[in-house]
Amino acid sequence: MFPLVAQGAQVRRRGKVLVGPVDLTLGGQGTSIVIGPNGAGKTTLLKMLHGIIRMNGGSLDWACPLEEAQRHQAFVFQTPVMMRRTVIENIAYPLRLTGVDRKEARARAADWAERVGLGKILQRQATMLSGGERQKLALARALVREPEVLFLDEPCAALDGRAMREIEEILAHASDSGTRLIMSTHNMGQARRLADEVIFVLHGRIHEFSPAGDFFAGPQTPQGRAFLNGDIVE
């Protein structure tokens, strides 16, 4: 499926450029962490790479046909949508959409619920879960299909430390198991813990793209250094 190559990729709305032009090549291993100030275009970049918003210019190419690539992807939103169903039915839903029979889908869903710490509340209504539990469910629902690439838009925003640690453990295990992670975060501690490479976004453009160790040791641009220092970047 990889590499993913973006060339001049751009998203505009009402005459305003939200993201781009973007030139980017992502390989098939590890975790890419997308950082940048609020409003920099991180979410739009992720959605563009995932293919859920229309580009207005440029190209986005996977190392396979687009339809095949999309079958092997998943996306976890900052505020995940909970269907008015039980925990197990929420997790099983993507499998049922792909034709997996109900018994097998529920068995696989129960297994993933156990992995993320929801095994004891399979019959609870998803809409009654806490914020941390909802994010765990969203991760299980995305990972139950064993995607090759998982996009995540600030999955730990507004979570407490314990919930964040549990989510990070799930993500680290997914990465170790071969799932490619492309994730935005506003938490620099989290970025340092998880990133193999860093994509620093500013004004809708990729301002820096480098191995995580290089970026955190010393960003190449004044804006990158200012952001890492916690200064206001405009």
Residue 67's pLDDT is what? 86
User: What is the rounded distance in angstroms from the CA atom of residue 183 to the CA atom of residue 134?
Assistant: 18
Domains and their CATH numbers in the chain: 4-79+149-228 (3.40.50.300)
Residue 187's pLDDT is what? 94
User: What is the rounded distance in angstroms from the CA atom of residue 218 to the CA atom of residue 216?
Assistant: 5
Interval 24-72: pLDDT, tens: 999 988 999 999 999 999 999 999 999 999 999 999 999 999 889 989 9
Residue 28's pLDDT is what? 86
Residue 100's pLDDT is what? 95
Distance of CA 114 to CAs 28, 91, 108, 119, 121, Å?
Answer: 28, 11, 10, 4, 9
Residue 162's pLDDT is what? 87
User: What is the rounded distance in angstroms from the CA atom of residue 134 to the CA atom of residue 81?
Assistant: 9
Which of the two residues, 157 and 203, has the higher pLDDT score?
203
Interval 72-103: pLDDT, tens: 999 999 898 899 999 999 999 999 999 999 99
User: Are the C-beta atoms of residues 52 and 151 closer than 8 Å to each other?
Assistant: no
Q: What is the pTM of this model?
A: 0.94
Q: Is the pLDDT of residue 158 over 80?
A: no
Q: Which residues contact 36 (CB under 8 A, 6 or more apart)?
A: 42, 200, 201, 202, 207, 227
Q: Is the pLDDT of residue 163 over 90?
A: no
11 forms beta bridges with 19
Reference 85, options 69, 58, 109, 114; nearest CA is 109
Interval 100-131: pLDDT, tens: 999 999 999 999 999 999 999 999 999 999 98
Count Cα atoms within 13 angstroms, Cβ side, for 15: 0
